[in-house]
Structures are given as structure tokens and as C-alpha cells.
């Protein structure tokens, strides 16, 4: 009988419901209760992998390769001086695109060795790198990226810099994979080297090579290539100019890259050991000279002209042009030096200079200001009253009408000329000369030399003011445009006062006009840009044509008259323009000082070069012109003072080594023979005596004026001093006044010696009254012991309620208690009256 027995029957235990969280696991004890089964592990991995694959497939389908960024093909436009040295740049991004074929192989070898050693073999991403970076990031190490060169290229070329998240990195990885399928490795590498930012404002390897080493990337050495490749991850902070720590890091990265290049077989160990740390150039943000911004602004303005190159500034910042200019760096440096104002110059006083080759129209130098950041308005293109620089325009019009330089006019100060008005509807007013001088009857050559307002007022009346305006336009002064908002500022009004330059012009305008005179009637187009190139192609070439607008005999006579300004007139300081051996250069020019000396000019030229120097004072806070505050030891800022001296200093530098050329030979016509009156004679064979009438109205005038008048008539003034209570030098009587006398006769002139004059207490008319409120100006006069008398007049340049002019002028010495007239602005008043605008005296030569 068997001993077998059935197994015991266990009591029935109900099956436990499966829990979502089934831990600790049943029937397990200790640690095993918490370890998942292999089925769970495999299932989780399969599910996760499937999910990841699904996400990747969805992302692959939904993420296309985007269009390239707008900036990646933007190149820097470089502007050059006439000698080929760089002047400045226009750039949205500082970039110059280069072809991979133009670069030495060690440039790209260094980048691959430092940044992505498997670049040539991977599919656009580096999976191992991704895993390594992910693990490091998850475990709390320094946050790492795993971007290959292709991914960096995608970021720079297609998507731009985005905040680094796993989603953005996945997007970059997918695009990188697709780009690798669509482009060759060399295409990717070329796009990379042209878009990577390498510090110092440089995008791409070409701009970086120039920023760090001062030469093109095609000339980079192995050492230089390793340096740039080494600092790619953080170029700004690893630039050695940032300090010792940055320099040490850059050196370490340079050595690291060279070692990697050896390991990858790109160079030998001997190449590495022979490499010397590269020499870096000094980095200057921008051009390094803030004054060149005025030149760059003018170049952009010139190229934007729709009748010229028609290239917008926006295009300039992206097109990668080479722009060559006519600016001579030596002349520009001389202009910068000559235009430095002394420390005692006024806050709002600005100097300007333009130098033009009259035969070509090329602008050789232009000074627009000392600092573009502080003074963004180019003083050379800012408008100020032209003053007496306009007188030659009237002279040219007269010469065209057949009026010779020998024509004589009465120069008596205070002469009333029909139609010369202070206000459009006012009466005719006296016209004053500078310093109220009178010169008697003088010819046009002498009137030009002395810049005599009264003579030129009569001449403008004789020929017609519209002809003066037309000559100005024909010489090169800018014509008004069709914009009603700007038209009035640019028009030369056809009123008598236009001869005194009451209208507003730029320095460049005057230089253009005087260049036409210097070129003996040939007008060119002033320009800075000579060529614009793109690669080997010519995009634009500056104007080269000239047009004869005035006859050579008219220009020769004008040049002769302007030479007299230097020889015996207000431009005498220009006589100092000599060669190193002391030989004087022939110089012609004209000074100009506006009403209340708000502007002052010297426009001068030699046959090879025209230069205009200007001064003006404009209060940008009050939006109004001011009287130029005297500086540099000058009592008055006239055209013959600082402007002529600065012109001479500049020209002395730039003409050194330049040949001396002469102006056209000109001989002024002989003056007409004096008229003769026959004397009674019983014999027909007797020669009649030449006679002349002693003018009336000489009593009460200064002796120097009367003597000049008599001498001009061929008479000999004989001065006799007499005790009198009249001012010293005042004429008391003139013998034979109003009678005919023989030419060459002596004329007795009694003159006061002032012995009986009681000395009066005097005071000075205060400075700074012009452009001040009426009340403030009146209070200043009263404080000085003077009596203010207010009259009103419209003004286009001075705000309502402010002082337009002062008579006697600021700085004048007058008796205490004298009346001083304040002309106060009533604001602008449009008028078509040809005799209106800013007539009257006070426009000084």
C-alpha cells in the first residue's frame, strides 16, 4: 500500500486587483520588492522609444528648412580716401562674403579641429555629443551644447539666435540633418565662415581677419587661423584687449587649437612649434575719427541723388560696395587742424571748410565739425548768410553788361539809393559801409578790394538785382527745389540787398561758385565719389564734364578784381601764402561778414584749388543765429580776420610742393580822360586848360574822405587845422566849393583840430543784444546809461519779440545818454516786393 497522499487543500484566497502603482511588489521582500520586472523595463523602453520616434517623425515632417535670414548676404560697404586708404564703412553687419576657394586650407582646418572634428563624416548632428551634453546637463554639471558646425551654421544662416531650449535644439538638429542632405560639406562650411560672429563687430572670417590682423583672410597664417578658431565660443570675452584674463584664455585656446590641428593631421608638430602668437592690431570702434562721419554722410547724400547714382543709404549698408572718393587724406588732416577753434570761441560758433579742384569739381577736403556725436549737423552744408561774398556775382553781371572795372561811383557812407529799404513798405534808407568809411569816387576794382557797400548797392541798382541772382545760380549756387517747405531757404531773392549776401548759402555752394571763377568760367559738378565698384564691376562713376558758363574776358577781369582784395583790401592776410623759399603765390578771393556778423567768410582760390572757410554762430536751443562771439584776440569776427588767417594756414600746408601757376594776364582798361572846358582865348592855337568842379557838400565830412574825393578829381587837398568844437578831422570849409578850377590845383581845406571839443563821458553798447527778448535788451541798454528806442520790422530768421539788429552796433563807443535803436522782429512776413527783405546798411565787407 502506498504512502502517497493528496496535497493539502489550501484555503481559497481571492485574487488581488492589479494596482497602477504596484510597489512594493507582492511575494517579494526587501529590495527586490521595489525592482521592476524585465517586462516593465522592456515595455517602458519600447513605449518611450516609440513615442520619441513618433515625436521625431512628426517634427521631421513639420520642420522645413527655412529661407535664409535677410542679414546673411548683407555685406559691408567700404569707403576709401583718394590714396586707397580706408575712410569708413556703411554696414548693418560688418561682413564681407568670401569664397571658400579663396581661403587657405588651414583657415577651415583650424575651425574644424577646434569646433567639430567629425564634421566631414557626421550627418549634420553628433549623437554622442548630444548624449554627453544631456547627461552632463541632467546631472547638474556645467550646461553644455552639442552643436556641430552644421548646427551653428543653421542657427546663423536660417533660424537666428534663439533662447536655448530642448525644443529649439531639436528644431536645429532636424534642419541640420536636412541641410546635410541638400548641401555639400563645402557649401555648409562656406556659409559658416561667412556668418559666424567673431567679435570686434565682425561677422564672417574676412571682416574678422581685418579687425584682428589688419589684412584679408586670404593672407591669414596658421597661427592667425588657430587664434580665430579658438575664440569662436566666446569671442567678445576672449579678445585679449579685454584684459589679462581674456588674453590668457585666448592664448590657451590658441595652443589648444594648434594641438588639435596636429592630432587631426592638418599640420605637423614642427608647424605647431614654429607658430608664433599672432600680432593683433588696435581695435577702433567705427572709423576711429568721429569727424569722418561728416564725410560719410556727404558721400551717402551724394549717392542718393536720383539724378546721379540713385543708391539709397539702406542699400549702402548691405551691398558690399567699394566706394572711392576724391578726399585727400593729407588735405583733410590739414583742414581738421586749421579749423580747430580756440577755447574762447562761443559755445555755438561753428567753422567750416570746403576745398575743390576747380578743373574737375572733385572735393579734396571738407570740414563739417569737430565731433559728429556732439554736433551732428555738417557745418559745410549748413546755410548762413553769404554776406559780401555775393558782391562778385553783381560784378560779373555788370561786366557782362559792358561796365568796366574802371567805372567810378560815389562811395560816400550813408548814401540813399532809390529802392533800398529796411522794410518792404518803408521809406528808402541810407546804406552804410563797414565802419562807416567813405572813399570818395572810386572804381569797381577798388570798391571790390575794400568791399564798399555803397558802390555795390548802386551797381546792383544799375544792372538789376535779378541779374545778380542769375549769375549766382550760373556759377553754382544751389537752385531752389520744388518743395514749398524748403524752397524759400534756397532762393536768392531779386532785391537790391542780395548784393550784400542777405540770402543763405552753404560753404559747399560758395566753393562751387568760386571754383567756376577759378576755372575761368567753366562750371563743373562738385563731388566726392569718383567710383563705386562691386567686385570687379563698375557700378557708378562720378561726373567728369564741365560747361563754359561765362566768357573768359569776364572771368579774367573778375579774377583781377578779386586779386586786389588780397593785394590791398580786406583779404590781405592771404598774402602770406608762399612757397618754402618765400615766393608768393597768386591768390584771389573775397571776404564776407553778414549783418551783425552772424557769419564770416573767406572764399579764395589759386588756379589749382578753391577753398572756402566759413564761420557762423547758431543757437540750436533758441533756433536762431547769433552775433559771432569774438575769439582769438580779434575785436570783430569779420571775413578778413580768423577766416582769412585759417584759410592761409590750411592752404600753406596743402600747396607745399605744388607748382606755382599764374592767373590769366589781365590789364584793366585805361580810365577815361577827364572832361575839359575851353577857356576864353583870342588865339585858336592855344590849348584849352583842363578844369574840374570842386564838389559841393563836403563840409562836415571827415577830412580823409574829402581828401580822397578831391584827389580822385585830380586836385591837391591842402589841410589847414583850425580850433573848433567839431570832432577832430571834421571839414569846416572847402575853398572854391562848387566852382570850376584847373586840374592839379591846390584846394584849401580847413579841418577841425578838436581843441574846443568838450570831452563827453562815453560807454559801450553792450554785446549780446541781438536775438534777445526786447525787454532784456532794453534793460541792458538802460543799465549801460543808454536810451533804448524800439522799432519793429519783419524777419524770417529772428523770432517775434526778439532783437533783429542794433544801431549803433554792439561794441560801439557812444556818449552816455545816447539813443540806441533796437529793431525788434514781428515775425516772418511773406512779400513779393523786389526791393524788400533785409535791405539797409549794416552788411559789412
Alpha-carbon gap, residue 204 to 409, rounded angstroms: 71
Q: Are residues 258 and 190 in the same domain?
A: yes
- CB count within 10 Å of CB 86 equals 13
Residue 778 maps to a domain: yes
- What is the pLDDT, as a whole number, of residue 40? 66
**736 & 795 share domain:** no
Residues 120 and 242 in one domain: yes
Mean residue pLDDT across the chain: 83
The domain of 795 spans: 762-825
Range among 291-305, 368-382, 404-418, 559-573 rated most confident = 559-573
SS3 content of the chain, % helix, strand, coil (to 5): 35, 20, 45
| Count of domains observed in the chain | 4
355: cell is 576745398
Torsions phi, psi for 538 (to 5 deg) = -90, 120
Phi and psi at residue 429, in whole multiples of 5°?
Answer: -125, 155
- Residue 342 is given by DSSP the state P
Higher pLDDT, 305 or 18: 305
Give the model confidence (pLDDT) of 439-477 as tens digits: 888 999 999 999 999 999 999 999 999 999 999 999 999
| Residues whose CB falls within 8 Å of the CB of residue 521, separated by 6 or more in sequence, listed in order | 548, 549, 550, 551, 552, 554, 555
Q: What is the DSSP letter of 159?
A: I
Q: What CATH number does residue 153 fall under?
A: 1.10.3810.10
Tens digit of each residue's pLDDT (9 = 90 or more) over 20-61: 566 666 666 666 666 766 666 676 777 666 666 555 555 454
Check pLDDT > 90 for residue 684: no
Q: How far is Cα 425 from Cα 427, in angstroms, rounded to an integer?
A: 7
Q: Does residue 559 register a pLDDT over 80? A: yes
776 shares a domain with 744: no
Say if 358 falls within a structural domain: no
CATH of the domain at 805: 3.30.10.20
pLDDT digits (tens, 9 = 90+) for 126-153: 766 656 655 555 555 444 445 788 888 7
Quick one: 800 and 704 in the same domain? no
Task: Compute CA distances 674 → 120, 245, 411, 698, 708, whole Å.
Answer: 102, 92, 19, 21, 17
Which residue has 559745410 as its cell numbers? 380
Residue with the bigger pLDDT between 713 and 273: it is 273
Note the pLDDT of residue 12. Answer: 54
Does 47 share its domain with 168?
Answer: no
Would you tell me how many other CB atoms lie within 10 Å of the CB of residue 234? 13
Judge if 223 and 116 occupy the same domain.
yes
Q: Which helix (H) or strand (E) holds 541?
A: strand 537-541
To which H or E segment does residue 416 belong? strand 415-421
Whether residues 726 and 808 share a domain: the answer is no
Domain assignment present for 748: yes
Instruction: Quote the pTM value.
Output: 0.65
Final residue of a domain: which of 752, 778, 801? 752
Give the pLDDT confidence score for residue 289 in this predicted structure: 62
pLDDT band at 415 (very low <50, low <70, confident <90, very high): confident
The verdict on 748 and 767 lying in the same domain is no
Q: Is residue 744 part of a domain?
A: yes
- Alpha-carbon distance values, 319 to 21, 96, 217, 441, 543 (Å): 66, 10, 20, 64, 22
User: Does residue 107 sit in the same domain as residue 252?
Assistant: yes
Joined grid coordinates for residue 226: 588657430
User: Looking at the predicted structure, is the pLDDT value of residue 845 above 60?
Assistant: no
- CA pair distance 621, 642, nearest whole angstrom: 25
Q: How far apart are CA 761 and CA 780, in angstroms?
A: 18
- The answer to the question of residue 50 being in a domain is yes
Q: Which of 699, 722, 752 is the C-terminal boundary of a domain?
A: 752
- Please check whether residue 47 lies inside any domain of the structure: yes
Query: Per residue in 774-822, pLDDT tens?
Result: 888 888 888 888 999 999 988 877 778 888 888 888 777 888 888 999 9
CA distances from 257 to 129, 130, 154, 206, 419 (A): 19, 22, 23, 20, 85
Note whether 747 and 820 are same-domain residues: no
Angle between helices 105-115 and 222-230 (to 10 degrees): 30
Which of residues 223, 242, 274 is at a domain's end? Answer: 274
Grid coordinates belonging to 752: 577841425
- Tell me if residue 578 falls in helix, strand or coil: strand
The span from the CA of 348 to the CA of 351, in Å, is 10
Beta bridge mates, 613? 353, 602
Within-domain flag for 217: yes
Do the strands 716-722 and 746-752 form a parallel or antiparallel pair, or are they unpaired?
parallel
Helix (H, G, I), strand (E, B) or coil at 79: strand
Pairing of strands 94-95, 202-203: parallel
The answer to whether residues 197 and 51 belong to one domain is no
In a domain, 427, yes or no: no
Strand partners, 363: 356
Residue 2: phi and psi, rounded to 5, are -80, 155
Round to whole Å and give the CA distance between 831 and 3.
Answer: 143
Residues 6+ apart with CB under 8 A from 191: 72, 153, 156, 157, 183
Residue 303 near residue 529 (C-beta atoms within 8 A):
yes
**DSSP alpha helices (H): ranges in 183-243?**
185-195, 205-213, 222-230
Amino acid at each position: 500500500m502506498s504512502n502517497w497522499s493528496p496535497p493539502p487543500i489550501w484555503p481559497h484566497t481571492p485574487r488581488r486587483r492589479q494596482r497602477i502603482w504596484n510597489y512594493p511588489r507582492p511575494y517579494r521582500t526587501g529590495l527586490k520588492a521595489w525592482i521592476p520586472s524585465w517586462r516593465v523595463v522592456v515595455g517602458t523602453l519600447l513605449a518611450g522609444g516609440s513615442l520619441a520616434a513618433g515625436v521625431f517623425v512628426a517634427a521631421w515632417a513639420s520642420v522645413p528648412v527655412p529661407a535664409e535670414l535677410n542679414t546673411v548676404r548683407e555685406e559691408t560697404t567700404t569707403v576709401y580716401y583718394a590714396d586707397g586708404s580706408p575712410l569708413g564703412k556703411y554696414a548693418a553687419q560688418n561682413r564681407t562674403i568670401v569664397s571658400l576657394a579663396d581661403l587657405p586650407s588651414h583657415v577651415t582646418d583650424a575651425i574644424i579641429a577646434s569646433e567639430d572634428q567629425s564634421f566631414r563624416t557626421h550627418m549634420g548632428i553628433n549623437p554622442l555629443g548630444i548624449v554627453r551634453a544631456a547627461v552632463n546637463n541632467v546631472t547638474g554639471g556645467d550646461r553644455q551644447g552639442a552643436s556641430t558646425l552644421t548646427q551653428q551654421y543653421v542657427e546663423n544662416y536660417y533660424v537666428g539666435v534663439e533662447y536655448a531650449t530642448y525644443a529649439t535644439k531639436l528644431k536645429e538638429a532636424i534642419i541640420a540633418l536636412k541641410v546635410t542632405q541638400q548641401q555639400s560639406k563645402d557649401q555648409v562650411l562656406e556659409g559658416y565662415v561667412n556668418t559666424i560672429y567673431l567679435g570686434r563687430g565682425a561677422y564672417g572670417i574676412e571682416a574678422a581677419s581685418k579687425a584682428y590682423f589688419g589684412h584679408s583672410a586670404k593672407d591669414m597664417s596658421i597661427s592667425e587661423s588657430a587664434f580665430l578658431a579658438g575664440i569662436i565660443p566666446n569671442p567678445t570675452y576672449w579678445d585679449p584687449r579685454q584684459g589679462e584674463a581674456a588674453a590668457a584664455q585666448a592664448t590657451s585656446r590658441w595652443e589648444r587649437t594648434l594641438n588639435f590641428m596636429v592630432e587631426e593631421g592638418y599640420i605637423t608638430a614642427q608647424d605647431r612649434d614654429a607658430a608664433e602668437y599672432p600680432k593683433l592690431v588696435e581695435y577702433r570702434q567705427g572709423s576711429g575719427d568721429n569727424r569722418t562721419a561728416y564725410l560719410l554722410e556727404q558721400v551717402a547724400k551724394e549717392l542718393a541723388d536720383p539724378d546721379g547714382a540713385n543708391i539709397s543709404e539702406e542699400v549702402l549698408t548691405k551691398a558690399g560696395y567699394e566706394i572711392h572718393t576724391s578726399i585727400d587724406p593729407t588735405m583733410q588732416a590739414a583742414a581738421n587742424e586749421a579749423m580747430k577753434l580756440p577755447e574762447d570761441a562761443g559755445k555755438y560758433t561753428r567753422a567750416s571748410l570746403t576745398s575743390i579742384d576747380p578743373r574737375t569739381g572733385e572735393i579734396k577736403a571738407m570740414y563739417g565739425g569737430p565731433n559728429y556725436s556732439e554736433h551732428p549737423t555738417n557745418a559745410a552744408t549748413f546755410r548762413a548768410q553769404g554776406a559780401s561774398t555775393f558782391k562778385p556775382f553783381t560784378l560779373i553781371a555788370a561786366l557782362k553788361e559792358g561796365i568796366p572795372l574802371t567805372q567810378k561811383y560815389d562811395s560816400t557812407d550813408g548814401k540813399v539809393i532809390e529802392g533800398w529799404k529796411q522794410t518792404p513798405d518803408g521809406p528808402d534808407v541810407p546804406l552804410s559801409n563797414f565802419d562807416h568809411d567813405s572813399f570818395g569816387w572810386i572804381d569797381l576794382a577798388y570798391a571790390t578790394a575794400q568791399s564798399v557797400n555803397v558802390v555795390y548797392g548802386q551797381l546792383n541798382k544799375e544792372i538789376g538785382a535779378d541779374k545778380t541772382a542769375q549769375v549766382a545760380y550760373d556759377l553754382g549756387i544751389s537752385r531752389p527745389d520744388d518743395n514749398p517747405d524748403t524752397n524759400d531757404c534756397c532762393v536768392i531773392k531779386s532785391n537790391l540787398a542780395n548784393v550784400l549776401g542777405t540770402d543763405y548759402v552753404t560753404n559747399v555752394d560758395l566753393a562751387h561758385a568760386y571754383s567756376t571763377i577759378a576755372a575761368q568760367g567753366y562750371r563743373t559738378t562738385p563731388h566726392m565719389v569718383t567710383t563705386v565698384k562691386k567686385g570687379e564691376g563698375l557700378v557708378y562713376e562720378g561726373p567728369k564734364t564741365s560747361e563754359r558758363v561765362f566768357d573768359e574776358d569776364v572771368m579774367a577781369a573778375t579774377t583781377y578784381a578779386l586779386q586786389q582784395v588780397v593785394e590791398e583790401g580786406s583779404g590781405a592776410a592771404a598774402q602770406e601764402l608762399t612757397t618754402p623759399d618765400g615766393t608768393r603765390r597768386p591768390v584771389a578771393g573775397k571776404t564776407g561778414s553778414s549783418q551783425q556778423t552772424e557769419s564770416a567768410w573767406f572764399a579764395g582760390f589759386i588756379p589749382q584749388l578753391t577753398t572756402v572757410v566759413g564761420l557762423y554762430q547758431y543757437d540750436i536751443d533758441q533756433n536762431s543765429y547769433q552775433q559771432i562771439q569774438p575769439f582769438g584776440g580779434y575785436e570783430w569776427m569779420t571775413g578778413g580776420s580768423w577766416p582769412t588767417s585759417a584759410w592761409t594756414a590750411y592752404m600753406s600746408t596743402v600747396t607745399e610742393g605744388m607748382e606755382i601757376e599764374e592767373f590769366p594776364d589781365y590789364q584793366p582798361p585805361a580810365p577815361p580822360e577827364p572832361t575839359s572846358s575851353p577857356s576864353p582865348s583870342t588865339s585858336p592855337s592855344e590849348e584849352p586848360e583842363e578844369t574840374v568842379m570842386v564838389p559841393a557838400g563836403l563840409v562836415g565830412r571827415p577830412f580823409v574822405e574829402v581828401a580822397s574825393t578831391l584827389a580822385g578829381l585830380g586836385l591837391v587837398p591842402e589841410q589847414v587845422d583850425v580850433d573848433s568844437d567839431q570832432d577832430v578831422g571834421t571839414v569846416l570849409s572847402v575853398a572854391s566849393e562848387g566852382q570850376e578850377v584847373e586840374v592839379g590845383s591846390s584846394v584849401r581845406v580847413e579841418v577841425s583840430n578838436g581843441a574846443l571839443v568838450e570831452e563827453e563821458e562815453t560807454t559801450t553798447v553792450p554785446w549780446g543784444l541781438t536775438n534777445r527778448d526786447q525787454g532784456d535788451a532794453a534793460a541792458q541798454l538802460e543799465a549801460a546809461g543808454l536810451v533804448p528806442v524800439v522799432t519793429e520790422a519783419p524777419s524770417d530768421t529772428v523770432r517775434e519779440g526778439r532783437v533783429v539788429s542794433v544801431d549803433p552796433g554792439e561794441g560801439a563807443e557812444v556818449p552816455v545818454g545816447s539813443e540806441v535803436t533796437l529793431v525788434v522782429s514781428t515775425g516772418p512776413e511773406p512779400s513779393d516786393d523786389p526791393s524788400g527783405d533785409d535791405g539797409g546798411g549794416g552788411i559789412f565787407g
